[in-house]
Structure 1
Amino acid sequence: MSDTRVPFTVENVMKCICGKCPVQAESQCSKAKKPGIPEALKQSPLQADAIPGMYCATGKASCTDLDMSKMCMCGACPLWEEYSLAATTPMGYYCRDGKAI
């Protein structure tokens, strides 16, 4: 396995549910980035700061206005099962605690 458990790919970004997560639902920073996602997905390599999500692959969020008092929904993400994220550290709240290892 490479040093990245979850590859930061267009395919995985499309599966990611971070954009629906209550933790970032009210984030003005995340909302401002969402319209630029289609263009960001055309870039090679993908730029993590342009895509508000995939924190299990990219690490802590660059947006600082996430609401960590809200319930994390990483366990409901298709990537959770696909990459056995229940067996990683951290185990959720990747936006706060960093990528899955």
Structure 2
Amino acid sequence: MIFYLFLAGAICLEVFGSTMLKLSHGFTKIKPIIGVIIGYVLAFYLLSKALGGLPLGLSYATWSGMGTILTVVIGVSIFKEKVNRQGLLGITLLIIGIVMLNLSK
């Protein structure tokens, strides 16, 4: 169970880092740049801790897939980005794939 908490933390920190990357405006704003560095360093640290008890394929697929989905949610809710039908289908397929992968463990 603790390894899934490490993975969840890694996902959240990766999404934080990605959001700060957008806010850095091409690495021209210092505070978001610091957020990028902190977010990604801690995300990889927690991912490495999750790998102590979870398989690599499952961990990485869940981390990258959920990170992508949550980043889209942030883009839509904070940055007013649009998602079309193809994007929604892609998100749906990601969710199905992540669930199937975790069920097969």
| TM norm. shorter chain > 0.5 | no
Question: Greater helix share, 1 or 2?
Answer: 2
TM-score when normalising by structure 1 = 0.26
Rg comparison, structure with higher value:
2
